[in-house]
Structure 1
Amino acid sequence: MKLKILGCSGGIGANLRTTAMLLDDDVLIDAGTGVGDLTLDEMVRIDHVFVTHSHLDHICSIPFLVDTVGHRRNTPLMVYAIGETLDALRTHLFNDCIWPDFTILPQPEAPYLQYREITRGETVSLAGRKITALAANHLVPAVGYCLDSGAASLVFTGDTGPNDALWEFVNGIVNLRYLIIETAFSNHDYAIAMASRHLCPSLFAEEIRKLRLPAEIFITHLKPGDMELTMSEVANAVDACQPRMLEHGQVFEF
């Protein structure tokens, strides 16, 4: 597997992009603003989108992606998510008010978009690649994902606050290599982190102590303006591991 980070910021501005990751050349993990940097040919090759949750910074490029390249594709774009997230997309986005309903356009028998409901703990296999939905603890129903090539696994927590169920699964991954974990706020915004079910460095430190396996750890979803402060607080909060900031354009091969 090859995973390219198209966006990993908790906001926009300058060169910052919100969460989107390109797996090989045909799978998106979330579809934030970073998708807009792809070429038309690259967008056409995307067949699958795995969505963590319904918040705008993780789904905003799905409507534009479908509208831009749907007519150039021979099959519908498949969007995978838990039922609550798909309900939100149907009700609040592809509703012919905010955006056309491309699950019935241009014709109901040949739409540009299809939904595939998945459940927490379910594994989807795509050409030998295993993608498993993991429990998350967020303000709306949400998941993270484990990407398993067979040789190694990468875990992306998605947006989450403290989450014991995640570690129960992660600690059973025998080939774990990478962990991408959100830490959206600095410690100054601890109350906001708790209320919105995100992590800050002090909460991150409590969570990472639950990890019993070695892994390379990367921090994502940092808020613009507080990135350096938050990463310094992360470094001061943990001793055993050396988390690094996830970067736009970074590539993982596993």
Structure 2
Amino acid sequence: MRVEILGCSGGIGGNGMRTTSLLVDNDILIDAGTGVGDLSLERLAVIDHVFITHAHLDHIACLPLMVDSVGELRERPVTMYATRETLEIVRKHIFNWQIWPDFSQIPTPENPFLRFAAIEVGQTVTLGTRSITPLPATHTVPAVGYHLHNQASGASLAFSGDTCICDPLWEFLNTIGDLRYLIIEAAFADRERDLALLSKHLCPSLLLDELAKLRARPEVLVTHAKPNQQEQIALEISAGNSPHRPRMLAPGVTLEF
């Protein structure tokens, strides 16, 4: 499996600052933040599956625009996978004919541009030799992370999505054999620790405490830093001297496993 990082910032502002989106093998998106907007129309048109962690705008911003742009170019609907709670939020507040047309009804309900598929934590979706399993997460809205498993190689990547302290996440991660990569968030610097806890995100000190619960030694890549705090977050993570040696993720990076 090949994962291309389209966006991994907690905001926008030039210099590669794009919000969360991971492109898997050209046909799967994990979240649909502003990084998706850099793809060509041709690359957008071959995306069949979009797995959403939660309904916050920085993770779904490009989904309505993408579906609108490529719907007529495709022979089958784009499938959006999310928990029932997230699907309800997105349908009520985005695809509601007021913010955006309901593309699950366009051009017809029988042959729409967009299809919704409900998922649950621990329930695996299998696409060929690729398995995608929702992971527990703790956030201000219903949220999940994702475990991507390559059945051919036996290797895995895990993505936390937006989360704070979440023991069930680590319990799940500790059951994964050959965890090659862990992408996990740290949205705020430690000076904003109280805000991180209030908004249910991680900061470097919280992240390092959480990583101590992980028994495996994957490559740990840190995502979702607020643009004006990214350098400070990187410094604080490095100063923590964690045995996991986490480093900041960057857009354009490709991970293979």
TM-score class, shorter-chain normalisation, is over 0.9
User: Number of residues paired by the alignment?
Assistant: 254
2:136 and 2:61 map into 1 onto residues whose CA distance is 22
Please, which of 244, 248, 256 is the counterpart of residue 245 of structure 1?
A: 248
State the Cα deviation string for residues 121-157 of structure 1 (Å, max 9, x = none). 1100001100000000000000000000022100000
1:8 corresponding residue in structure 2:
8
Gaps of at least 5 residues in structure 2 are none
Scaled by the length of structure 2, the TM-score of the pair is 0.98
Give the 5 Å matches for 1:1-254.
1-14=1-14, 15-150=16-151, 151=153, 152-254=155-257
2:183 and 2:242 map into 1 onto residues whose CA distance is 18
User: Offset of 1:201 from its aligned partner?
Assistant: 0.6
2:9 and 2:37 map into 1 onto residues whose CA distance is 14
1:129 and 1:238 map into 2 onto residues whose CA distance is 34
User: SS state of the match for residue 47, structure 2?
Assistant: coil
User: Offset of 1:107 from its aligned partner?
Assistant: 1.1
On the 8 A contact 1:205/1:238 being kept in 2, the answer is no
> Larger deviation: 103-112 or 238-247?
238-247
User: SS state of the match for residue 110, structure 1?
Assistant: coil
Counterpart amino acid of residue 17 in structure 2: L
User: SS state of the match for residue 194, structure 1?
Assistant: helix
**Displaced runs of 4 or more, over 6 A:** none
User: SS state of the match for residue 107, structure 1?
Assistant: coil
On the 8 A contact 2:208/2:242 being kept in 1, the answer is no
On the 8 A contact 1:48/1:78 being kept in 2, the answer is yes
Gaps of at least 5 residues in structure 1 are none
> Larger deviation: 237-246 or 199-208?
237-246
2:93 and 2:172 map into 1 onto residues whose CA distance is 32
Q: Percent identity?
A: 52
1:158 and 1:26 map into 2 onto residues whose CA distance is 20
1:21 and 1:174 map into 2 onto residues whose CA distance is 22
1:239 and 1:207 map into 2 onto residues whose CA distance is 11
On the 8 A contact 1:51/1:59 being kept in 2, the answer is yes
> Larger deviation: 145-154 or 230-239?
230-239
User: Offset of 1:225 from its aligned partner?
Assistant: 1.2
User: Offset of 1:239 from its aligned partner?
Assistant: 3.0
User: Offset of 1:238 from its aligned partner?
Assistant: 3.3
1:87 and 1:225 map into 2 onto residues whose CA distance is 33
User: Offset of 1:106 from its aligned partner?
Assistant: 1.1
On the 8 A contact 1:47/1:77 being kept in 2, the answer is yes
Scaled by the length of structure 1, the TM-score of the pair is 0.99
